[in-house]
Homo-oligomer: A and B are copies of this chain.
Amino acid sequence: MASAYTQLEARFSKIALLGEAIGMLSWDQSVLMPKGGAAARGDQIAALSVIRHDMLTDTALSNLLDEAAEDNGLDSWQAANLREMRRKWVHAAAVPADLVEAISKASNACETVWRSARRDSDFASVVPAFAEVLTLTQRMGEAKAAAFGCSLYDALLDAYEPGGRSAEIDPIFDSYARFLPDFLEDVLTRQTARPAPRFPDGPFPIAAQRTLARRLAETVGLDFESARLDESLHPFTGGIPEDSRITTRYDESDFTQALMGVLHETGHAMYERARPAAWRRQPAGEARGMTIHESQSLLVEMQVCRSRGFLGWAAPIMRDAFRGEGEAWQAENLYRLAIQVSRGFIRVDADEVTYPAHVILRYRLEKAMLAGDLPISDLPTAWNAGMRDLLGTAPPDDRLGCLQDIHWYDGAWGYFPTYTLGAMAAAQIYAAATAAVPAIPDAIAAGNFAPLMAWLAENVHGKGSLLSTAALIKTATGKPLDDTAFKAHLRTRYLGD
């Protein structure tokens, strides 16, 4: 008879295969599916999700988890695998099936109302449905908190950032919130004092954008024998390590958005592709969480591909891709374009300096709402006050304010902080990589990503979920995550020269 642990590996391998199938169906839904297929696709994904949930909450699996916990012969990877198996089991088993279904229905209903509420900038119209989502999310959080033995917020956060704790996030975000107002003022003053960079003349044909994006993704390390680049309304990375599926959205009047978007998704894909092959369909082999995932996309996009070094190499390639001419195609101009900063209302359009303000605002507000300290009806007022505090500006209406993001209305609570934790981790990890391998920046400036990717594969990607996020960052960079490296990066880039 195979050991309990070995039996668990077999079960989780099947669970992972179901996840891969669900991922493929979702990818097709976002990228290719004609709209007539929507209802049936929902049924298909729901059916597979139920089967997966049933596998995960099977009593026999729970018994095997208990039995394997007594196994003293597990090595560190196996022990990590068992730990992550149990985490998945808690997330699935802690919440009663009827609550899961109620949340799914309430989120779907709320998302529908939210779409028209956002269009009409009519927050009041979404309040009843939103309150229902919040109440049910609180119930789910309480159930998971009891199972994990942590706070309600941390239990929700755990679904996106395993082991994440708000007590560790608060000081990091508070520090950045204190830093930002004066720094932003300095950056904007300096930016205004210089001549504005010039946007190259378009249009930029989509076919040429696609060819360029593929070329640069290949430069980062993506191999299109085992990857695809497609289009979707909301760019994302799907697929599996052997078959990455990245998407983007093209705009003929601006090639930089699609291009930087592809490089961002390539960062995600590179992480997935270098996960430990020996743990391919096991929990320990999965990406560590959303913070590290976002750190890898932002490391490629923000730390590297918006750098003067990379753009110096890429500028003539970009120019030639569009048969461009003139000074707008000079590297320094393209670099200035890539690092423009502004006080804006919309998170997804924000630059790397102001982006954290959007996240810190949402993080504080979602904690307050979940704790019952902020009534939903007060959200617009609190939102605008927070925007003024953090960014010195407030939106003219809720469409550009608290209605802009789908997350809360669709039931995703505890997700937002990972964006900014990822940005800070990206800076800290890139600083560690260049300290360990000083040749990396020169290699990047020559279009050679191999030294960087080798270091990341060894120190981040290949670790899978062996370590906690905190331990992974500490091991890779020598210190716990904070905003020091991120602020240093911003000072150098925006005030340095």
Contact = CB atoms under 8 A, between A and B. Distances in A.
B228 A39 contact: no
A486 B36 CA distance: 36
**Chain copies in the assembled complex:** 2
A275 to B, nearest CB: 13
A371 interface: no
A352 interface: no
A28 B31 CA distance: 12
Contacts of A32: 228
A47 B14 contact: yes
A67 interface: no
Contacts of A24: 24-25, 28, 44
A42 to B, nearest CB: 11
A205 to B, nearest CB: 15
Interface in A372-396: none
A282 to B, nearest CB: 14
A234 B391 CA distance: 57
Interface in A246-270: none
Contacts of A28: 24, 28
A79 B39 CA distance: 28
A225 B35 contact: yes
A226 B18 contact: no
Nearest to A35: B225
Interface in A37-78: 37, 39-41, 43-44, 47-48, 51
A243 B33 contact: yes
A26 B240 CA distance: 16
Nearest to A281: B43
A38 to B, nearest CB: 8
B225 A47 contact: no
A223 B21 contact: no
B39 A242 contact: yes
B40 A21 contact: no
A34 B269 CA distance: 15
A224 interface: yes
A225 B36 CA distance: 6
A27 to B, nearest CB: 8
A343 B428 CA distance: 72
Given A24-B25, A32-B228, A17 B37 contact: no
Contact of A34 (B17, B35, B43, B226): B226
A20 interface: yes
A208 interface: no
A185 to B, nearest CB: 48
Interface in A208-227: 223-227
Interface in A388-409: none
Nearest to A55: B51
Given A24-B25, A51-B51, A242 B17 contact: no
A21 B17 contact: no
Contact of A37 (B39, B43, B240): B240
Given A34-B224, A242-B39, A21 B21 contact: yes
Contacts of A239: 37
A51 B50 CA distance: 13
A40 to B, nearest CB: 5
Contacts of A37: 226, 239-240, 242-243
Interface of A: 14, 17-18, 20-21, 24-25, 28, 32-37, 39-41, 43-44, 47-48, 51, 223-228, 239-240, 242-243
Closest 6 CB pairs of A and B: A36-B226, A37-B243, A17-B47, A36-B242, A21-B44, A40-B242
6 contacts: A20-B40, A21-B21, A24-B44, A34-B224, A34-B225, A36-B226
